[in-house]
Amino acid sequence: MNTRLLVILCALSALHLSGCCNSCKEKQCSTDSTGTAVASAEPKVEVLPSGLVLVNDESYSTEIASGVSLVNISAKWCRPCAKFAPIVEELAKDFNGTPKVAKANFDDCPILCGKFEVNQIPATILFKDGQEVARFTGLKSKEEVKQWVVENTGSTVAMH
């Protein structure tokens, strides 16, 4: 094996084992008998008291797999995202799980953002049974988002 490649692999392994990568933080990695990092089988999912589900690259596909889900993708450094964050929390409370409201951090979810070609934030994507139905970028009022969900799902559940 190329010495340069071996050094790179060792460095990556050390980062992974030290918990310096998002994968370890999110998946609560441990090591096997050879010292190789092994992720837990179930991705860690955090649900806030409002009902807002925090998703990451490992958990988003499970969370959007069935039913209607609204996923907001934002970043801590993004001012419009910070303005929209309380609205997303209120939507999670108002919807009470139907549809499910989830939030992903743009910087921590390169797989999710790459798969759904998210290149502007805040981005809000509506899924039905794991398939994208609609999306918007930027800000909307809570009532505008509720109406958008109704228009794109045909369901009035979002209007309670």
Annotated active-site positions, please? 78, 81
Residue by residue, DSSP assigns 70-94 as EEEEE-TT-HHHHHHHHHHHHHHHH
Q: Are 27 and 44 in contact (CB under 8 A)?
A: yes
| Exposed / middle / buried, residue 21 (Cβ in 10 Å: 0-12, 13-18, 19+) | middle
- As a whole number of Å, the CA-based R_g of the chain is 18
Secondary structure of residue 32 in the 3-state scheme: coil
Quick one: how far is CA 135 from the chain centroid? Answer: 15
Q: Do 116 and 137 form a contact (C-beta atoms < 8 A)?
A: no
